[in-house]
Amino acid sequence: MNAWPLLGIAVVVLGFALRYNPVLVVIVAALTSGLLAKVPLPHLLALIGTSFVENRALLMFLLTLPALGVLEHFGLRERASAWISSFRGLTLARFQIAYLGIRQLTSMMGLTHVAGPAQTVRPLAAPMSEAAAERTLGPLTDAQRQQVRASAAATDNIGLFFGEDVFVAIGAVLLIQGFYARSGIVLEPLSIALWALPTAIAAFVVHAVRLRLLQRRLQRQAQAAQRVDHAEG
């Protein structure tokens, strides 16, 4: 057994300990292990390139995190809150229902990675939801603020989950097709996607109703707090 290729692990540990560029460390580690395993250099480079292409979505996701961190440092969340507060008549329910529709439509077109908890919910959707709620309900308590944030994350998740199945070339549709094929039932991806459309519409309606109920519950809590303040005053 050739144990020399395991030196690639040592390269990773040493590179991260010395805080070198992570991408450079991984590439050097891959080259180290591959060459010590006597893999021809052209084949090794082709393998690295193939792995990069197959995992490019994950790499794009990781690259967005530092960019979002810089934007948040320079006031992205504050600017988003101020911008959403300038819209008259915009409530928490209306904003999140609109976001749900946009998330579902983009997922139906296969654009599943254009939004998400890290890309949009934390830096944009959550602070916008808080601003829309405070505009109509007044200052939020910590518990109410957590409810609004959780609702924003749930809205994004529901829009993605029930919208992506309508897109033909998505993993979930192919998984459903493969499951039925093993049972001898032949289904076309297009028919699966079309049958997912009524489910997506029903999910939109159900969650829109839930958002309306959340809005009313927060309004009742705000009115109860105002009555308590008046009674104490």
Token pair, residue 167, equals 């897109």
Sign of the torsion formed by the C-alpha atoms of 131, 137, 140 and 145: negative
Return the pLDDT at 85: 80
Return the pLDDT at 34: 87
CA angle (99, 103, 107) in 5-degree steps: 175
What pTM was computed for the model? 0.69
pLDDT tens-digit map of 45-71:
888 777 766 665 555 556 666 666 777
| Terminal Cα-to-Cα distance of the chain (whole angstroms) | 82
Return the pLDDT at 65: 64
Return the pLDDT at 125: 92
- Average pLDDT by stretches of 10, the chain with 233 residues: 82 87 81 88 81 61 65 78 83 95 92 84 92 89 94 96 85 81 86 89 97 94 81 69
Return the pLDDT at 207: 97
Of all residues in the chain, the percent with pLDDT exceeding 90 is: 33
Q: What is the 3-state secondary structure (H, E, C) of the chain?
A: CCCHHHHHHHHHHHHHHCCCCHHHHHHHHHHHHHHHCCCCHHHHHHHHHHHHHHCHHHHHHHHHHHHHHHHHHCCHHHHHHHHHHCCCCCCHHHHHHHHHHHHHHHHHCCCCCCCCHHHHHHHHHHHHHHHHHHHHHCCCCHHHHHHHHHHHHHHHHHHHHHHHCCCCCCHHHHHHHHHHHHCCCCCCHHHHHHHHHHHHHHHHHHHHHHHHHHHHHHHHHHHHHHHHHHHHC
Amino acid at residue number 65: L
Return the pLDDT at 27: 84
Distance from C-alpha of 137 to C-alpha of 172, rounded to nearest angstrom = 40
Tell me the residue length of the chain: 233
pLDDT tens-digit map of 153-177:
999 999 999 998 888 777 778 888 8
Distance from C-alpha of 56 to C-alpha of 80, rounded to nearest angstrom = 29
Return the pLDDT at 156: 96
Inter-residue contact 10 to 24 (CB < 8 Å): no
